[in-house]
Amino acid sequence: MPVNPVEWTSERFSKNYVADYKPYNFVDGEGVRCSIYVSGCPFACRGCYNKAAQDFNYGSPYSRELESQIIKDLSADYCQGLTLLGGEPFLNTGVTVPLCEEVRESFGWSKDIWSWTGYTWDELMEGTEDKRRLLELIDVVVDGRFEQDKMNLNLAFRGSSNQRIIDVQASLKSGEVVLWNEGDYY
């Protein structure tokens, strides 16, 4: 395995497995959300809350049936959007990119898409084309590896204080990190 995570590719690691899918939850971002947990993450952060999903073979293969169910669930008026978790969504782009493309095709930008990632923003900017494509489709990313010594249970939508909540579209447009909600989430 390369030491530099920028060199990691979905093609090399992903088995296109899903660890779990949870419709209509309130914890994986703002509002009522449908959350998909992809399988596989080589970051293996100490204290990871979803250790089982680090295994790229965990769970079951992603399917068109699951994708159709997610789109159906997202169509509920009270559902604000989709959340991508894991595992590592940016190393499972064979699942996450087509799903996000389908969300945009079905709902435009009326449903938001959030993602958690162990990658930092800078690593994603240096990364592969598929990582960049996923960023183009999402609204909010929580970046950075979970650091147990910086864990704080009082943080909104983050496990450790090094992680940032980034407004992806504003950041891509400006060429620099723009914090979601103007950083008013501490």
Task: For residue 87, say if its preceding peptide bond is cis, omega within 30 degrees of 0.
Answer: yes
First-to-last C-alpha distance (Å) of the chain: 35
What CATH number should be reported for the domain holding residue 71? 3.20.20.70
- CA 68 – CA 46 distance, rounded (Å): 35
DSSP structure class, residue 45: -
Express the helix, strand and coil content of the chain in percent, nearest 5 each. Answer: 35, 20, 40
Give residue 149's domain range. Answer: 5-183
Whole-angstrom CA distances from 79 to 20, 93, 96, 120, 145 are 18, 23, 19, 28, 28
**With contact defined as beta carbons under 8 Å apart, do 142 and 112 qualify?**
no
pLDDT (tens digit, 0 to 9) for every residue of the chain, 186 residues total? 446 899 999 999 999 999 999 999 999 999 999 999 999 999 999 999 899 999 999 999 999 999 999 999 999 999 999 999 999 999 999 999 999 999 999 999 999 999 999 999 999 999 999 999 999 999 999 999 999 999 999 999 999 999 999 999 999 999 999 999 987 876
Total of domains in the chain:
1
